[in-house]
């Protein structure tokens, strides 16, 4: 887990802290990615640190706050505020990706074949080779069909591309696509333990895919987690805390979530 004080913390599946390493003392770290055999963490003011297994580290400087990263086709793609999207090679050299995005790139995701990015201005960008990109202005393309949306996260799987965020009225938004061209809204209402359908009111901040159970998971504001299976009437809601959850990942039968104030929790299924 990347923390707000510049540390990277390593936890067990039972949520026990194993160890921590200081990547950049006092820096706000926002994301993590494994690239070229090292663990990279990026944060505000363009700080980018590579941690090696021998406990050595190397610091790089990017022009702009870093919000998201993904390793794809031998390069590290770095997304951030005001359209920042850089492509870094193993030797540390980096250059802007050949696409202009207006908003801040809040999410990057890849399945190894496709790489997708989303922005807080409702943009969805995709590439099949890391060089040529497609760009969809969702709010313009779907004007009149859906309310304007600000995206916070994306998850690419072999079957679907999922993008999530919030509408302008603050309600959650989730869309799915099989090829990145046509997008369909996916309901986020969930069924409680009494069989009653309730609307999700928390804002999605992170998303991941559980291949074992074939479902997406949304980590949201106010400590909420929602499971989104293929059955549109089978969504489930979990309240983990009152803190916003900024990250979620899946390891076999365990979901790991991280949030504000160094929150780290696991859910076993």
The whole-number average pLDDT for the span 28-55 is 94
pLDDT for residue 22: 86
**What would the pLDDT profile of 115-126 be if each residue is shown by its tens digit?**
999 999 999 999
Domain 1-61, what fold?
Answer: Thrombin, subunit H (2.40.10)
pLDDT band for 16, please (50, 70, 90 cuts): confident
Q: Give the CA count within 13 Å in the CB-facing half-sphere of 126.
A: 21
pLDDT in tens, 60-108: 999 999 999 999 999 999 999 999 999 999 999 999 998 999 999 999 9
For 52-63, the pLDDT digits (tens) are 999 899 999 999
What per-residue confidence (pLDDT) applies to 118? 98
| pLDDT in the model for residue 151 | 98
Distance between CA atoms of 47 and 24, rounded to whole angstroms? 8
Least confident of 81-90, 117-126, 223-232, 250-259: 250-259
Domain ranges of the chain: 1-61, 67-169, 187-269
Percent of the chain exceeding pLDDT 90 equals 79
pTM reported for the whole predicted model = 0.94
In this predicted structure, what is the pLDDT of residue 11?
Answer: 79
Residue 217 scores a pLDDT above 80: yes
Question: pLDDT by residue (tens digit) across 128-183?
Answer: 999 999 999 999 999 999 999 999 999 999 999 999 999 999 999 999 999 999 99
Cα–Cα distance between 3 and 1 in angstroms, integer? 6
Q: Is 188 helix (H, G, I), strand (E, B) or coil?
A: coil
Please give the Cα distance from 181 to 89 (Å, whole number).
Answer: 29
216-250 burial code (b ≥16 CB/10 A, e <16): bbbbbbebbbbbbeeeeeebebeebbebbbbbbbb
The predicted model gives 18-23 an average pLDDT of 84
Across the chain, how many H-helices and E-strands are there? Answer: 1, 27
**pLDDT tops 80 at residue 46:** yes
- Residue 61 CA to residue 249 CA, distance in Å, equals 27
CATH architecture of 67-169: 7 Propeller (2.130)
- The answer to whether 67-169 and 187-269 have equal CATH topology is no
The CATH number fitting domain 187-269, selected from 2.40.10, 3.30.460, 3.30.2320, 1.10.3470: 2.40.10
């Amino acid at each position: 887990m990347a923390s707000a004080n510049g540390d990277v913390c390593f936890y067990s599946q039972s949520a026990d802290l194993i160890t921590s390493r200081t990547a950049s003392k006092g820096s706000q770290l926002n994301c993590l990615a494994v690239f070229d055999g090292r663990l990279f963490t990026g944060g505000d003011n363009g700080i980018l640190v590579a941690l090696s297994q021998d406990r050595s580290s190397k610091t790089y400087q990017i022009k702009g706050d870093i919000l998201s990263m993904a390793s794809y086709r031998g390069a590290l793609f770095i997304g951030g505020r005001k359209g920042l999207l850089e492509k870094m090679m193993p030797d540390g050299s980096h250059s802007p990706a050949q696409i202009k995005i207006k908003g801040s790139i809040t999410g990057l995701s890849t399945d190894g074949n496709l790489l997708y990015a989303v922005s807080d201005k409702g943009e969805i960008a995709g590439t099949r080779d890391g060089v040529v990109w497609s760009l969809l202005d969702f709010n313009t393309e779907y004007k009149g069909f859906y309310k304007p949306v600000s995206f916070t996260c994306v998850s690419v799987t072999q079957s679907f591309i999922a993008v999530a965020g919030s509408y302008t009225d603050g309600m959650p938004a989730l869309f799915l696509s099989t090829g990145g061209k046509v997008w369909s809204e996916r309901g986020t209402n969930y069924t409680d333990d009494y069989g009653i359908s309730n609307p999700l009111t928390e804002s999605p901040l992170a998303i991941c895919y559980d291949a074992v159970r074939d479902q997406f998971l949304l980590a949201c504001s106010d400590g909420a987690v929602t499971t989104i299976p293929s059955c549109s009437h089978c969504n489930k809601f979990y309240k983990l805390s009152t803190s916003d959850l900024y990250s979620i990942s899946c390891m076999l039968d365990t979901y790991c979530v991280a949030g504000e104030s160094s929150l780290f929790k696991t859910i076993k299924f």
